[in-house]
Structure 1
Amino acid sequence: MVATPIKTKKRLSIQTGDIAENTTTIRSLDWDRDRFDIEFGLQNGTTYNSYIIRGEKIALIDTSHVKFRQLYIDTITGLIDPKTIDYLVVSHTEPDHSGLVKDILELAPQATIVGSKVAINFLKNFIHQPFEYIAVKTGDSLDLGKGHVLEFVNAPNLHWPDTILTYDQGTETLYTCDVFGMHYCSDVLYDEHLEDIAPDYHFYYECLMGPNARSVLSALKRMDKLGHFSLVANGHGPLLRYNVHELVERYRTWSEEQSKADKSVAVFYISDYGYSDRLSQAIAKGITKAGVAVEMVDLKSADAQDVHEIVSGSAGLVVGMPPLEGTHSNETTSNIGTILAAAKNKQYIGMFESYGDNDEPIDPLLTRFREAGLNKGFNPIRVKDTPTEAIYQLCEEAGVDLGQALTQAKKVKQRKSLDSDLDKAIGRISGGLYILTANKRELNGAMLASWVTQASFDPPGFTVAVAKDRAIESLMQVGDSFVLNILEEGKYQPLMKHFLKRFRPGSDRFEGVNVQTANNGSPILVDALAYLECEVVSRMECSDHWIVYSKVSNGRVSNPDGLTATHHRKVGNYY
């Protein structure tokens, strides 16, 4: 099975390869893409994978991103006559996988689209032309002949509300679209080098699947009934052939850990309306960073009884405002009423507008929630223009605030109960006092730190521990730059007081602070003793922190006689 790359000039290329009997992949390689979806950074580009299955009938599974339009069409017409395509399986309607569905239908008007009921409804609004379709659900199958029997599994919220998985019994291949994928661009077709792809695989899970951990576990249960699969044909990155069991089980382990959280938040959004789904994902990511589980619910397709049960079992609620009018306004309005009826005193509530130009007003509905005794989880997020990176960061920070509010009482209780000799002994490990500052495009962040240790001479480097629920953690991925500001003994109190404040999501951490700009674009605190310009080289995950190793490219001391401020604790179970 030899993959044949077809190169172009703009760092966009197509790779084809035979991956199983009568089965070919078309991989669109996007070498330079550095941002994706809810605005998380990519270090290694990404791919968009599509598949052709040739039985007595021919099925095409997914298409590609619109930026590959001509490359993709030239490639697929070189492999098959589009007029022989019988079925186009749409795993989900996110544009990076379905962006060329309309183009394929123009070449293959006889093709029948196969997808979930939600996906078919999305496509009707997207394509604006009649097409033949089959709406499938878990357990449905489609016989292509020559042993290729496709069996379908619903997998909503992974990470799109209309996702389905497709299993080819004849080749034991599971087509998963976003699930078990990674943003990793390489002309290596399979997961041969696990150590190379593992960080991107985990990072992808954290950003896209972690906020939907409970949905992941539900999908895994349905997958278990399919039987053995020897190949995972995903939608992004290398296909899984050599480490299938290991990588699938990592999803199970991570999701089980995520779902063990004592409390959960129900996040209600409206799929394919404005930017509701993407904004809700960003909020959900922030909530999970604080150690709280999330239940994602599409208000358009959710059953009223399910909504009532989810609200009753949640400690917090996040609601994306529905449209005033439109195709699904009745369903969403009904479910909003169900949420209000089921909401309980002392639950937390957060609300956001989705830039749909037609949203129900937030304030009257928020007033009704507050009158029912709910606490404010975060200030309403009002998005009136196309969301920017700063808006997505604001959403993530709002989610962190909500998650922290739900876990604060437990943390205080733990601190009071863990006062053993061991805790006191660990507390005697002292550290310096530092402030990390970072800037990336329109985003900025800062954090007071004390767990900083030099780790290498050549190149000069150090490690810093960053709690998983810190907002700045998102700005400290591999390849990101920041500044380590070293505070001076006897002179650090004003800076420490400022950065210990609780900042509102989206607020400017540096307002009123004397700063200069480093060569890497991050703020330098003028009143600090010294500063180091740094670049993140690697990250190691611990239970509640990331250990971030960074190399130093530049630095300066403002007072040669000054001493680094030190930090001493009485116990070692909190800062």
Structure 2
Amino acid sequence: GPRPRGRSSRRALELKGPETMSESETWTGLTPGKEYKLQTFSQEVAENTRTIRSLDWQRDRFDIEFALTNGTTYNAYTIKGETHTALIDASHKKFEALFMDALESPEGGAIDLATLDYIVVSHTEPDHSGLIENILVKAAEKGNDKITVVGTKVCITFLSNLVHMDFQKKIVKGGDQIDLGGGHVLDFVVAPNLHWPDTMFTYDSKTQLLYTCDAFGMHYCSDNVTDAEGVQALEPHYKLYYNCLMRPNARSVLSALKKVGESCGDVSAIATGHGPVLVESKDEWMGKYKSWSEDATTKLGPSVCVFWVSRHGDSERFAQSFAYGLTNQDVLVEMHDLNAVDAFEVVEACQRNKVIVIFAPPMGENAAQTNVGSILASCNPKDHKLVICASGGADDEPVDSLVSRCVQQTGIPEGLPAIRCGGGSEEKTLAMFEASGLQLAKDLQSKKKQAAKDKLDQKTTEALGKMGSGRYIVTGRKGEINSAAVATWVMPASSDPPSVAVSVAKDHPLSSLTQLGDTFVLNMLEEGNYLDLMKHFQRDLRPSDDVFEGVDVAEVAAGEAAGISVVGCSAFLLCRVFSRMDAGDHVLVVGEALTGAVVREAPTAANYRKSA
């Protein structure tokens, strides 16, 4: 039964024995022409417990996270009890040779597939379950066809469609236990939507390790098994991961934390699925998840429910990008998989949320289509708006068909025009979905912003309007993604290093291109000769439009840093972002000036506001 959590344990992880690093292999399946270095690293991390960390050193993008700077890891763990042995998670298919070699090595996983009893599957995404079938086949060749695959009901259902052979299975729910002997009793915590519907945590009462799959993870690959680099160095990676995958499911994060507190004992360390094992600053990391999630779920204003479709086209990543655009604007979001959500959950979600986003399910009779019907039965024209999105699957129900039956036949208005897949690259398509989320957030919060302005008395409004400034075009680029905005809230920030500060609206796509380490170009508009350029960049654009179409631009560079200058401006500065500060509905971006030039000797256009 449930045990009191008590105080958090301070006992450090017991890293013992040799650190075993494999030879390296290369993989070429992500970015054309680029080779990725792969290795495995193994070590004992606690009593009778070892880790096999699959190291993807140069991984530069993962799901919707682009421009990763430190690669990522895929972590698996082996536990040898007195009577039974277990493997928790099974890496990624691309690590097949390296992982399978390490699994039975005495310096690796140190288990024998001839006697392995359990494979615990935290969830079924291919980066955690990629080698399950390989393990079952190799074990069977050794005469072991009794391995039991352990997972939630949804997990086992998904696996049955992925593993092309019969296998022993055990469906577990919260409160269930498996005794491996010698005090290693595994408790299971069902944690759906972190970030898949089939996710669960596993707790070993002997070592007090909590195995959390994607939760509490980060895309960060190094020689350290634990979070030895410290909070300051690791937090940017940890928070980006949280914002992309967990914040849209903040309610589920809080629910999982509560379950852990109620059903698990002391936690000595968090054994994550990606990145380091959290032990040095474990309590602080858990506290951040709690505070970030509480903050995300207490925002006032309209909320949005996103229904996506697992294992169908690019539905998951499109939905993540769309949700990321919303949560960046502090819009409360929840996400559900149309393949796994039940009718009762659909009704409750539609009652909680004003805007319902539906990603196209596959055609035919299936669970996702049934749940779309439940959504329509739970919504009405007075209380709801719908957003229809393509999923990018070969057998998607056409967007026009969905719009017809979800919008036109029901009278429920659209929150945004239907979102279709363009013909651009994967990177551009994901950016388009993120920009669509930003646009929806902007629309939802327009009344709130106007109300804030209306609260100001006339004298204050007039005084704010007396603050003069210049007129600028700020351009940003990351990979194939470009954006630009007219800016007037610009000023010098420091002389050492030489830097400028620019205030960027959070609901503008440029905000995603001005993160720490990104570059931007500050283009100075010329007094008396700026109206055409300013009008061009003030146009209302669709997320898929090219912001630079119709104007002349040039590339500027300083070393490896590069950006886009606008022809017709009197001067420009290429800057690299080194600081960002929250400023209400804007973010203050500070960039070090790397290079610049005066194109024409002319004063910068002045801007005088009439009001706040």
Query: What range describes the TM-score normalised by the shorter chain of this pair?
Result: over 0.9
CA contact (8 A) 2:65 2:244 kept: no
Separation (CA, whole Å) in 1 of partners of 2:260 and 2:493: 44
Residue 131 of structure 2: aligned partner:
100
CA contact (8 A) 2:562 2:574 kept: no
Which amino acid in structure 1 is aligned with residue 153 of structure 2? K
Give the superposition deviation at 1:178: 0.8
SS in 1 for 2:114: helix
Give the superposition deviation at 1:415: 1.3
Alignment partner of 1:169 out of 205, 211, 219? 205
Alignment partner of 1:6 out of 4, 21, 29? 21
Which amino acid in structure 2 is aligned with residue 83 of structure 1? A
CA contact (8 A) 2:555 2:564 kept: yes
For 1:355-504, list aligned pairs within 5 A: 355-371=392-408, 372-383=410-421, 388-419=426-457, 428-504=466-542
Q: Check if 1:42 corresponds to 2:83.
A: no
CA contact (8 A) 1:158 1:179 kept: yes
Alignment partner of 2:239 out of 191, 202, 205? 202
Give the superposition deviation at 1:247: 1.0
Which amino acid in structure 1 is aligned with residue 606 of structure 2? T
Separation (CA, whole Å) in 2 of partners of 1:14 and 1:142: 28
Alignment partner of 1:55 out of 78, 81, 99? 81
SS in 2 for 1:32: coil
Q: Check if 1:30 corresponds to 2:56.
A: yes
Separation (CA, whole Å) in 1 of partners of 2:493 and 2:594: 15
Give the superposition deviation at 1:455: 3.3
Residue 283 of structure 1: aligned partner:
322
Alpha-carbon displacement from aligned partner over 1:300-330 (angstroms, at most 9, x marks no partner): 22221221221132111110111112xxx34
Alpha-carbon displacement from aligned partner over 1:412-469 (angstroms, at most 9, x marks no partner): 1221123376666555554332222122232111122233333344543333333333
Q: Check if 1:531 corresponds to 2:572.
A: yes
Give the superposition deviation at 1:493: 2.3
- 338-347 or 419-428: which moved more? 419-428
Residue 566 of structure 1: aligned partner:
606
Alpha-carbon displacement from aligned partner over 1:149-172 (angstroms, at most 9, x marks no partner): 111111122112211111111111
CA contact (8 A) 2:388 2:402 kept: no
Change in 2 beyond 3 A, CA 1:294/1:148: same
Alpha-carbon displacement from aligned partner over 1:226-276 (angstroms, at most 9, x marks no partner): 232120001111111121111111111111111122221111111112222
SS in 1 for 2:375: helix
CA contact (8 A) 1:290 1:400 kept: yes
Separation (CA, whole Å) in 2 of partners of 1:67 and 1:208: 23
CA contact (8 A) 1:355 1:385 kept: no
Give the superposition deviation at 1:5: 4.6
Provide the TM-score with structure 1 as the length reference.
0.93
Separation (CA, whole Å) in 2 of partners of 1:547 and 1:29: 36
Which amino acid in structure 2 is aligned with residue 140 of structure 1? D
Separation (CA, whole Å) in 2 of partners of 1:550 and 1:26: 40
Residue 324 of structure 1: aligned partner:
363
Residue 374 of structure 2: aligned partner:
338
Separation (CA, whole Å) in 2 of partners of 1:286 and 1:360: 25
CA contact (8 A) 1:315 1:406 kept: no
Separation (CA, whole Å) in 2 of partners of 1:465 and 1:149: 54
Change in 2 beyond 3 A, CA 1:190/1:139: same
Separation (CA, whole Å) in 2 of partners of 1:240 and 1:284: 27
Alignment partner of 1:550 out of 579, 582, 591? 591
Which amino acid in structure 1 is aligned with residue 114 of structure 2? K
Residue 386 of structure 2: aligned partner:
349
Separation (CA, whole Å) in 1 of partners of 2:588 and 2:53: 34
CA contact (8 A) 1:357 1:384 kept: no
Residue 247 of structure 1: aligned partner:
285
Q: Check if 1:191 corresponds to 2:206.
A: no
CA contact (8 A) 1:40 1:207 kept: no
Provide the TM-score with structure 2 as the length reference.
0.88
Give the superposition deviation at 1:385: 7.7
Residue 73 of structure 1: aligned partner:
100
Separation (CA, whole Å) in 2 of partners of 1:208 and 1:99: 20
Change in 2 beyond 3 A, CA 1:52/1:385: farther
Change in 2 beyond 3 A, CA 1:384/1:465: closer
Which amino acid in structure 1 is aligned with residue 482 of structure 2? N
CA contact (8 A) 2:269 2:279 kept: yes
- 465-474 or 377-386: which moved more? 377-386
Separation (CA, whole Å) in 1 of partners of 2:304 and 2:547: 27
- 382-391 or 282-291: which moved more? 382-391
Change in 2 beyond 3 A, CA 1:571/1:62: farther
- Percent of aligned positions with the same letter in both sequences? 46
Change in 2 beyond 3 A, CA 1:417/1:248: same
Separation (CA, whole Å) in 2 of partners of 1:147 and 1:568: 73
Alignment partner of 2:173 out of 137, 146, 151? 137
CA contact (8 A) 1:39 1:389 kept: no
Change in 2 beyond 3 A, CA 1:67/1:426: farther
CA contact (8 A) 1:287 1:294 kept: yes
Change in 2 beyond 3 A, CA 1:195/1:387: same
SS in 2 for 1:52: strand
Alignment partner of 1:88 out of 119, 133, 138? 119
Between the two proteins, the alignment pairs up a number of residues equal to 568
Give the superposition deviation at 1:42: 0.9
- 354-363 or 391-400: which moved more? 354-363
Give the superposition deviation at 1:565: 2.6
Change in 2 beyond 3 A, CA 1:496/1:239: same
Q: Check if 1:312 corresponds to 2:365.
A: no
Change in 2 beyond 3 A, CA 1:154/1:455: same
Change in 2 beyond 3 A, CA 1:503/1:386: closer
Unaligned runs of 5+ in 1: none
Change in 2 beyond 3 A, CA 1:180/1:511: same
Give the superposition deviation at 1:37: 0.8
Residue 190 of structure 2: aligned partner:
154
Unaligned runs of 5+ in 2: 1-14, 27-36
Change in 2 beyond 3 A, CA 1:428/1:29: farther
Q: Check if 1:17 corresponds to 2:43.
A: yes
